[in-house]
Structure 1
Amino acid sequence: MRFEFRLLLSVFLFVHSVSGQNKINEQFEPNWESLSMYECPEWFKDAKFGIYTHWGVYSVPKAPGKTDWYGRFMYAEGTSNNKHHLENFGPVDKFGYKDLVPLFRAEKFNADEWADLFVKAGAQFAGPAGEHADGFSMWNSKVNPWNAVSKGPKRDIVAEMEKAIRKRGLKYVVSLHHSWLWGWFPTWQEGTDCFNPENASLYGEKLPKTSRKIETKERVKNCNPMPSKKFEEVWLEKVKEVVEGYSPDLLWFDNRMEILSESIRQKMVAHYYNFAAENNIEAVLTFKRPDLPLGVGTVDLERARMPEIYPEPWLTDNSISRNTWSWTTDLECYSENRLIDDLVDIVSKNGCLLLNVAPHPDGTIPEEQKQRLLAMGNWLKLNGEAIYKSRPWLIYGEGPTETKTGHLADKRFDGFTDEDIRFTTRNGQLYAIALGWPESGVLPIKSLGNTAYNGAINSIELIGCNEKLEWEQKELSLEIKLPTKKPCNNAFVFKINRN
């Protein structure tokens, strides 16, 4: 009896120990209450600037206009993508999206060259689009036969980028857009290769025409039918493959997760956070509202920004071009001034910028885009103390320009003026960042005038300038006489030393 008792006690203690370990390993349960215990790590609050890429099969056609949606609109009669496809590849029943895959060879892709460029640009986190809306995985997927190792370049792009990014000390990002695959291709449309059930492994389940109502990235209010259980299971397995295979520090999701059941979304978030906890990863998961509840991850705004300081860290994802995410023959880049001003404005409101670049189909990054990134890097090399590890001040800034809000609002925004100023702080140091160089030769800062700011100012420095500045704190503004020579070409950083 004594032996049996000891045996039972040992079994009880073992089971209790194992259950206790599982409890520790599974810190997050798949429900919103548990997942809301998430806390954004300090590295993300400090990083401020990251880079990712839209590059895949959709880059191959070498079309003008918008190409990241090429796989969808090549089948829509009368669209520019459809006309381009008919002229260059032929009818969509004979040469469909699947036939572009062998042409995606990535023959000049070099992950180390990309990573070196991102470091020179001043990025603190970077990575690829793991899977866009087209159902083609850029990693060695076991659940998706249409992946970059089995087809196309026959290389694990996600793995190569992970190695290159981590080798340079940056945090690693993978973006996932694959909830869009539900109804992305017209599987109901006769006269297309999407209609052929033999191609279902790429194009998805046969759906009725009603699913084609979803034509833009505006919030999806109706989806008919909703995703099947099978689709949701594969969707989740793809996320798990990326998480377990490549351990991203930041997992980024495009919108439209809201069409998935809440239970699948909860399982996904819990899996990522628990995996991260077990592997000492300070995880960041970004999402667009209303795909997840506030507090479950980090809010991301697509081509948009907060109008004021937001109490929690947040992200803007924007592209280096106003009109496209992936490479096109007529791609036009934003000016370096616009990109730097945007970064400053976002940081002043407690945000981070994730900037997209659009590599050429062969895997090289075009020179015009390189120049923009290097210009940002040069600016950050000089002025980075006002950006990295900074926090918002009492107010984000001043000036006449009101940034537009709402999904894709930045596409309608034309930039800032010489009167716009943004503030940041770091270790008690206040920085005033002028987004222009007034022709008058005097920079007035109204927020630091005697009637607006109750505090003494001891001295003022302009980063990159060796001249001693003349300044006077007047009733309505702090007036700084500008030096004869600009220290850089964009966004001028003044260190305001106070008591």
Structure 2
Amino acid sequence: MSTEEYLRKIDEVIAQGPYTDTWDSLCGHPTPVWYEKGKFGIFIHWGVYSVPAFGDEWYPRNMYRKGSRENLHHVETYGTLDKFGYKDFIPMFRGEKFDPVQWAELFQEAGAKFVVPVAEHHDGFKMYASELSSWNAAEMGPEKDVLGQLKAEIENRGMVLGASSHRAENYWFFNGAREIPEADVNDPQYAELYGAAAGPTRDHSNIYDNTPTQEHMEKWLVHTCELIDKYHPKLIFFDWWIQQYAWKPYLRKFAAYYYNRAVQWGEEVAIDSKFDAYVHGSAVKDLERGQLDHITPDLWQNDTSVARNSWGYTIGNDYKKTSDIILDLVDVVSKNGALLLNVGPKSDGTIPEEDANILREIGRWMKVNGEAIYGTKYWKVFGEGPTVVPEGHFTDTYEKNFTSEDIRFTSKGNHIYAIVLHWPEDGEIHIRSLGNDMKLLKSSICDVELLGTDLHPRFFRNEALDISCGRIIEPGDMPVVLKITIE
């Protein structure tokens, strides 16, 4: 199907409704129940950029930027850009050990409820079978329909499949090569992979400057609609550059098409977007490596990674502690958020042992404490304590030294979960939000249970709810959950 034919098909689906490509209509689309209940998902950055495994997943851009660390490394390791361009990594990207069964089993063991592979990153190489471009993993490199194989195994295990598209950024991702005449990006025969390699000439965060061409935006729309038509993902994740003002009509069209197709499928779906690309209420707000400092009644998401330095696999990744990731998960959920945690597989298709160990440790914590996460709602306040969690993008790597006074709340039925972010040595907990002034809780407390034990500790409701657990748990970095039953 040509671009023009697909555009006509998109218009026909939108005309059938029930959603139109207007903000008023799109803001009436509900957030999926599976998303609100699931809370925790796995993001996967796997692509050709895992072959050089240097710097980060922006290696393909930076290798064409004269004098950059990646550029110098590339020339020294692989040769000059007229001899070895990014396309030449594709035959080396074999994925010979890729096992979708093992991946899905690991994600299930971690306690994930949804999985979001990057279907296409900024580099223009698709990780799925496409009729619109031969630059895809089914025809080149691994010669496997990676997304399709993952879909089968993920859904067979009761998890939800999503997909991430970063195709918008392909417009300018390789533009550094325009200053290197001999670079392969400048050869028209590779234009389908490298894109326009045009602007932005200035700040690519400027939402009014550096407008992409109509051709690029129409192809983006068609390629993204092909992705949903072939694989029926229940979540589409977009990276940041689509907040650029010129994209707005195309964003509306995509959402109307996607939401209408989901009605035809009988499925609940969602779009994740950053900043104000989508009008508030028409999609789920996403903060990259970021958190909120307050509760919001609308579901939001923190997408982050097991590594601080990169989303894709690189040699020598700087990994976070598992406890820090779980603490972020708890804080996010207490504020009505979900956590999308990224792993970066190696080019051979194996998930690094460091990534896998983190996921297994999260899974062990979830087996004990998952009832305080899954299917919960936020409580009247997200928590209490002296430690400030800063709001905004790129804030979740800040050092946070939580104390035993730092507590987060979730709720379900007649239970309040008080999640203590740093367990005290003496096992004495004081929860001021549940004190006898009854400002926040006017119900009676009839039981307190320490999850993971048989202990129902003594408690007294004074200025604070004072709970005496003794030394049954050793102090550590992992949060501990108190299940409080009210009448």
Question: Helix, strand or coil: the match of 2:379?
Answer: coil
Question: Helix, strand or coil: the match of 1:188?
Answer: helix
Aligned residue for 1:147? Answer: 136
Comparing 186-195 with 370-379, which one deviates more in the overlay?
186-195
Query: In the aligned structure 2, how far is the partner of 1:144 from the partner of 1:175?
Result: 17
Query: In the aligned structure 2, how far is the partner of 1:418 from the partner of 1:281?
Result: 43
User: Would you say 1:126 and 2:96 are equivalent positions?
Assistant: no
User: Would you say 1:75 and 2:60 are equivalent positions?
Assistant: no
Shift of 1:206: 5.4
Change (3 A) 1:214 1:24: closer
Aligned residue for 1:335? Answer: 321
Superposition pairs for residues 235-314 of structure 1, below 5 Å?
235-259=220-244, 260-314=246-300
Counterpart AA for 1:482: C
Shift of 1:467: 2.9
Aligned residue for 1:8? Answer: none
Contact residue 138 and residue 157 of structure 1 kept, 8 A: yes
Query: In the aligned structure 2, how far is the partner of 1:343 from the partner of 1:95?
Result: 42
Which of 84, 89, 103 pairs up with 2:78? 89
Shift of 1:455: 3.6
Contact residue 414 and residue 486 of structure 2 kept, 8 A: no
Counterpart AA for 2:212: P
Question: C-alpha offsets along residues 393-439 of structure 1, whole Å, 9 cap, x if unaligned?
Answer: 10000011111112212233435333210001011211101011113
Contact residue 467 and residue 483 of structure 1 kept, 8 A: no
Query: In the aligned structure 1, how far is the partner of 2:329 from the partner of 2:356?
Result: 17
Shift of 1:197: 2.3
Contact residue 286 and residue 299 of structure 1 kept, 8 A: yes
User: Would you say 1:361 and 2:364 are equivalent positions?
Assistant: no
Contact residue 301 and residue 339 of structure 2 kept, 8 A: yes
Counterpart AA for 1:434: V
Query: In the aligned structure 1, how far is the partner of 2:443 from the partner of 2:267?
Result: 42
Query: In the aligned structure 2, how far is the partner of 1:357 from the partner of 1:254?
Result: 17
Counterpart AA for 2:388: E
Change (3 A) 1:247 1:195: same
Counterpart AA for 1:383: N
Aligned residue for 1:352? Answer: 338
Question: Helix, strand or coil: the match of 2:178?
Answer: coil
Counterpart AA for 1:485: I
Aligned residue for 1:45? Answer: 36
Shift of 1:366: 1.0
Change (3 A) 1:193 1:338: same
Question: Helix, strand or coil: the match of 1:129?
Answer: strand
Shift of 1:102: 1.1
> Structure 2: where are the runs of 5+ without partners?
1-11
Aligned residue for 2:458? Answer: 470
Which of 170, 188, 192 pairs up with 2:178? 188
Counterpart AA for 1:170: M
Question: C-alpha offsets along residues 206-253 of structure 1, whole Å, 9 cap, x if unaligned?
Answer: 53xx525357xxx443532x1111111111111111100000011111
Counterpart AA for 1:495: K
Contact residue 407 and residue 419 of structure 2 kept, 8 A: yes
User: Would you say 1:381 and 2:372 are equivalent positions?
Assistant: no
> Structure 1: where are the runs of 5+ without partners?
1-20
Contact residue 379 and residue 488 of structure 1 kept, 8 A: no
Question: Helix, strand or coil: the match of 1:356?
Answer: strand
Which of 131, 135, 156 pairs up with 2:124? 135
User: Would you say 1:113 and 2:99 are equivalent positions?
Assistant: no
Superposition pairs for residues 451-470 of structure 1, below 5 Å?
451=437, 452=439, 453-470=441-458
Change (3 A) 1:316 1:328: same
Contact residue 171 and residue 197 of structure 2 kept, 8 A: no
Would you say how many aligned residue pairs link Structure 1 and Structure 2?
470
Query: In the aligned structure 2, how far is the partner of 1:71 from the partner of 1:407?
Result: 24
Aligned residue for 2:6? Answer: none
Aligned residue for 2:394? Answer: 408
Contact residue 183 and residue 212 of structure 1 kept, 8 A: no
Query: In the aligned structure 2, how far is the partner of 1:156 from the partner of 1:415?
Result: 44
Counterpart AA for 2:420: A
Query: In the aligned structure 2, how far is the partner of 1:379 from the partner of 1:488?
Result: 15
Shift of 1:25: 4.6
Contact residue 25 and residue 278 of structure 1 kept, 8 A: no
Aligned residue for 1:56? Answer: 47
Shift of 1:142: 1.7
Contact residue 432 and residue 494 of structure 1 kept, 8 A: yes
Query: In the aligned structure 2, how far is the partner of 1:83 from the partner of 1:433?
Result: 48
RMSD (Å), alpha carbons: 1.9
Contact residue 127 and residue 161 of structure 1 kept, 8 A: no
Change (3 A) 1:334 1:22: closer
Aligned residue for 1:16? Answer: none
Contact residue 425 and residue 475 of structure 2 kept, 8 A: no
Comparing 390-399 with 77-86, which one deviates more in the overlay?
77-86
Contact residue 76 and residue 82 of structure 1 kept, 8 A: yes
Query: In the aligned structure 2, how far is the partner of 1:23 from the partner of 1:157?
Result: 29
Query: In the aligned structure 2, how far is the partner of 1:93 from the partner of 1:290?
Result: 40
Shift of 1:356: 0.4
Aligned residue for 2:195? Answer: 204
> Percent of pairs identical after alignment?
39
Change (3 A) 1:23 1:156: closer
> Radius of gyration: which is bigger?
1
Which of 465, 469, 477 pairs up with 1:482? 469
Counterpart AA for 2:140: K
Question: Helix, strand or coil: the match of 2:433?
Answer: helix
Aligned residue for 1:12? Answer: none
Comparing 388-397 with 192-201, which one deviates more in the overlay?
192-201
Contact residue 143 and residue 234 of structure 1 kept, 8 A: no
TM-score by length of 2: 0.93
Shift of 1:371: 1.0
Question: Helix, strand or coil: the match of 1:393?
Answer: strand
